[in-house]
């Protein structure tokens, strides 16, 4: 029974959810869900750890959870989970996804009204039956109904690009209002993520400003009927269908509030435990000693320093080893925009791009890049105007001429070759041998099973002419899952063949996910941050990929396109020499 870490984590999370529903000790549920998170992120296969008797090495795994995992690995099932789930009708956990419905209320509507689906809950609200329950009233019922309706009409999440544009727009409006001294994006939008359910914005009140006016102003930014709550320090609204939480604090709490509202929750929990162990209390207003006096924190550096840590970049605040690294002084110096030299994976009007090679090259140069990897589509991608072998040769001539014209800027000539169903590339070897590099991507037959997809990827990676593996998972965020594949086998192959792994920065893709990127980078597989641009605006998507690379703990040394042009040239030459065509 092969189970990967995600499968095991999913079972433990369900145990946590159903334990809460069953009204068990809430700390028990927390124990299961924190181990679920740890397993999901764990670099080693839990199945291997179990085989070596090393499960207890995972923080939070004790006797009981070890047994649950062992049970799961042997039988593929969990007796504990089945017992818990047996007490409730199927699908009841959906009720928890309605904002305002937590375990207690789900339990109450289920036990007293027989409600077990969102549809039944909506009906019960309309029949005015919730008000009869203890602890429920008119307003609670109305709010639950509103939350159900919101859930029905809104897409649950937004892309990075959408969330950022809504957030930046709100920051600009709030700054302009004059109510605030500073307005700043916090939360997961500051930490970086591939999709967003809400955004957090920190607003520091201007001197002498009253909270009433500030609160009313922020509430006025809401969609019609979109105010979720508005108090003295917190205003929550829906803006363009996305939940936005504003937090207002005075200037003295700026640094603590920024740290607090940036999160993640798990990171903050660890940080506050740490503070507590040092006799300090930490909250969004400051850091306090036992006697109530506070430690002055002019900036986030001071906040971390107060608990004996160096400053941790927001992207790393996921409770995944950053605290230990900060304590040991081994935090990585993360890649920055200024470290990037090459723009890899650029399309032009030779295939489905909108601009000429020269225009795209000049746009790259304008953005401070010194080289570009031109990669139009290959012949099988006829829907995208893919190039046949003759056109590819013509394009090579144009690239040669442009390289003379634009020197010292350098265009490397390659192609984004479809990886065909059997894993082969889209041209005969002789054609590929004339190129500087080849990006291989899967664009067709996306519904393969795990075994078939893995075989297809492995066969492409084993081809020495493949330089870069493009958008490896095939996912489209909020739209398409991507095909399943054996991650460990693919990473092994990339490592063995010295193949570059692309991180595709298109906000619809952000592929592969930063968590996989981190595992790849940890093995020393070079990562290329690629815009997959079809026009100049597409080049600016690099900012999203850069954030993901930072979340993956990447230093410039890990990033392929941080190489200088001479190094990149030498790299491509060496790759080609390996199969004797330089």
Partner DNA sequence: GCCGTTTTCGGCCCGACTGTTTTCAGTCG
Report the interface residues with DNA, using CB under 7 A: 25, 27-28, 30-32, 59-66, 96, 98-106, 131, 134-141, 143, 187, 198, 200, 229-234, 243, 245, 263, 265, 268-269, 272-273, 275-277, 281-284
Question: 483, 500, 482: which is closest to 491 by C-alpha?
Answer: 500
Give the β-pairing of 437-441 and 468-469.
Answer: parallel
Minimum distance of DNA from residue 226's CB (angstroms):
13
For 83, 148, 440, 465, the CA distances from 462, given in Å and listed in that order, are 47, 50, 12, 9
Minimum distance of DNA from residue 477's CB (angstroms):
20
Minimum distance of DNA from residue 157's CB (angstroms):
12
Minimum distance of DNA from residue 189's CB (angstroms):
11
Minimum distance of DNA from residue 437's CB (angstroms):
43
Minimum distance of DNA from residue 100's CB (angstroms):
5
Question: 381, 399, 461: which is closest to 436 by C-alpha?
Answer: 399
Q: Is 434 left (phi over 0), alpha (psi -120 to 50) or beta?
A: alpha
- Measured over the CA atoms of residue 42, residue 45, residue 51 and residue 52, the dihedral's sign is negative
Angle between helix 487-497 and helix 450-462 axes, rounded to 10 deg = 0
Q: Is the CB of 150 or the CB of 409 nearer to DNA?
A: 150
For 63, 209, 388, 438, 503, the CA distances from 485, given in Å and listed in that order, are 32, 56, 30, 22, 17
Cβ neighbours for 266, distance < 8 A, ≥ 6 positions apart? 34, 37, 318, 319
Question: What is the distance between the alpha carbons of residues 68 and 362, in angstroms, rounded to a whole number?
Answer: 59
Q: Is the CB of 130 or the CB of 402 nearer to DNA?
A: 130
Question: 443, 456, 391: which is closest to 417 by C-alpha?
Answer: 443
Is omega for the bond preceding 67 within 30 degrees of 0, making it cis?
A: no
Question: What is the distance between the alpha carbons of residues 468 and 343, in angstroms, rounded to a whole number?
Answer: 13
Q: Is the CB of 274 or the CB of 305 nearer to DNA?
A: 274
Q: Is the CB of 98 or the CB of 392 nearer to DNA?
A: 98
**DSSP secondary structure letters along 507-574:** TTT-BS-HHHHHHHHHTT--EEEE--BSSHHHHTTHHHHHHHHHHTT--GGGBGGGS-HHHHHHHHHH
Q: Report how far apart the first and last C-alpha atoms of the chain are (Å, whole number).
A: 47
Q: Is the CB of 92 or the CB of 361 nearer to DNA?
A: 92
Q: Under a CB-based contact definition with an 8 Å cutoff, are residues 346 and 352 in contact?
A: no
Q: Is the CB of 214 or the CB of 361 nearer to DNA?
A: 214
Q: With H, G, I as helix, E, B as strand and everything else as coil, classify residue 552.
A: coil
Q: Is the CB of 105 or the CB of 379 nearer to DNA?
A: 105
Q: Is the CB of 255 or the CB of 461 nearer to DNA?
A: 255
Decide: residue 240, CB within 10 A, 0-12 exposed, 13-18 middle, 19+ buried. Answer: middle
Q: Is the CB of 23 or the CB of 89 nearer to DNA?
A: 23
Minimum distance of DNA from residue 84's CB (angstroms):
11
Residues in the chain: 582
Minimum distance of DNA from residue 27's CB (angstroms):
3
Question: What is the distance between the alpha carbons of residues 241 and 386, in angstroms, rounded to a whole number?
Answer: 38
Question: What is the distance between the alpha carbons of residues 342 and 531, in angstroms, rounded to a whole number?
Answer: 11
Minimum distance of DNA from residue 468's CB (angstroms):
37
Q: Which two tokens stand for residue 224?
A: 């019609």
Minimum distance of DNA from residue 427's CB (angstroms):
50
For 435, 488, 551, the CA distances from 468, given in Å and listed in that order, are 13, 18, 21
Q: Is the CB of 243 or the CB of 375 nearer to DNA?
A: 243
User: In DSSP terms, which residues pair with 437 in a beta bridge?
Assistant: 414
Q: Is the CB of 63 or the CB of 404 nearer to DNA?
A: 63
Q: Is the CB of 33 or the CB of 375 nearer to DNA?
A: 33
DSSP, res 154: S
Minimum distance of DNA from residue 123's CB (angstroms):
19
Minimum distance of DNA from residue 551's CB (angstroms):
18
């Amino acid at each position: 029974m092969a189970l990967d870490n995600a499968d095991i984590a999913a079972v433990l999370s369900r145990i946590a959810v159903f334990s809460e529903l069953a009204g068990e000790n809430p700390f028990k549920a927390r124990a299961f869900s924190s181990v679920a998170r740890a397993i999901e992120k764990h670099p080693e296969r839990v199945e291997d750890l179990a085989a070596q008797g090393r499960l207890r090495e995972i923080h939070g795994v004790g006797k009981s959870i070890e047994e649950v995992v062992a049970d799961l690995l042997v039988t593929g099932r969990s007796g504990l989970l089945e017992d818990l789930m047996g007490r409730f009708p199927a699908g009841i956990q959906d009720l928890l996804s309605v904002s305002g419905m937590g375990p207690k209320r789900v339990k109450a509507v289920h036990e007293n009204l027989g409600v077990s689906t969102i549809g039944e809950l909506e009906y019960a609200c309309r029949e005015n039956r919730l008000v009869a329950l203890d602890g429920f009233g008119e307003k609670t019922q109305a709010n639950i109904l509103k939350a159900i309706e919101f859930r029905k009409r809104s897409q649950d999440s937004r892309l990075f690009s959408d969330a950022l544009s809504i957030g930046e727009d709100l920051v600009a409006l709030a700054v302009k209002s004059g109510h605030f001294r500073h307005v700043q994006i916090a939360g997961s939008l500051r930490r970086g993520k591939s999709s967003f359910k809400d955004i957090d914005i920190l607003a520091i009140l201007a001197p002498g400003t009253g909270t009433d006016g500030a609160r009313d102003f922020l509430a006025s930014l809401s969609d019609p009927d979109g105010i979720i709550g508005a108090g003295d320090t917190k205003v929550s609204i829906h803006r363009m269908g996305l939940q936005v939480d504003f937090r207002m604090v005075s200037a003295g709490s700026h640094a603590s509030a920024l740290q607090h509202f940036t999160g993640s929750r798990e990171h903050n929990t660890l940080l506050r435990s740490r503070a507590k162990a040092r006799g300090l209390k930490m909250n969004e207003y400051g850091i306090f000693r036992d006697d109530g006096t506070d430690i002055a924190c002019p900036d986030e550096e001071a906040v971390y320093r107060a608990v004996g840590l160096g400053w941790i970049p927001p992207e790393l605040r996921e409770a995944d080893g950053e605290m230990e690294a900060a304590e040991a002084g081994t935090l990585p110096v993360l890649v920055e925009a200024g470290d990037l030299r090459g723009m890899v994976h650029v399309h032009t009007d030779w295939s489905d791009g909108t601009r000429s090679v020269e225009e795209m090259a000049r746009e790259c140069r304008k953005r401070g890049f010194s080289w570009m990897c031109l990669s139009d589509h290959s012949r099988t991608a006829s829907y995208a105007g893919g190039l046949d072998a003759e056109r590819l040769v013509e394009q090579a001539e144009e690239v040669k001429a442009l390289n003379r014209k634009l020197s010292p800027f350098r265009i490397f000539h390659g192609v984004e070759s479809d990886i065909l169903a059997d894993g082969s590339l889209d041209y005969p070897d002789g054609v590929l041998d004339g190129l500087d590099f080849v990006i291989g991507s899967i664009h067709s037959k996306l519904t393969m099973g795990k075994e078939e997809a893995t075989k297809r990827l492995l066969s492409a990676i084993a081809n020495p002419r493949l330089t870069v593996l493009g958008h490896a998972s095939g996912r489209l965020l909020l739209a398409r899952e991507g095909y399943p594949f054996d991650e460990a086998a693919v990473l092994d192959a990339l490592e063995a063949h010295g193949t570059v792994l692309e991180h595709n920065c298109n906000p619809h893709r952000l592929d592969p996910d930063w968590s996989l990127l981190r595992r790849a980078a940890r093995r020393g597989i070079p990562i290329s941050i690629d815009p997959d641009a079809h026009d100049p605006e597409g080049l600016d998507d690099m900012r999203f990929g850069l954030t993901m690379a930072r979340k993956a703990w990447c230093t410039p040394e890990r990033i392929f396109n941080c190489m200088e042009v001479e190094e990149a040239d030498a790299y491509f030459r060496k790759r080609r020499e390996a199969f004797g065509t330089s």
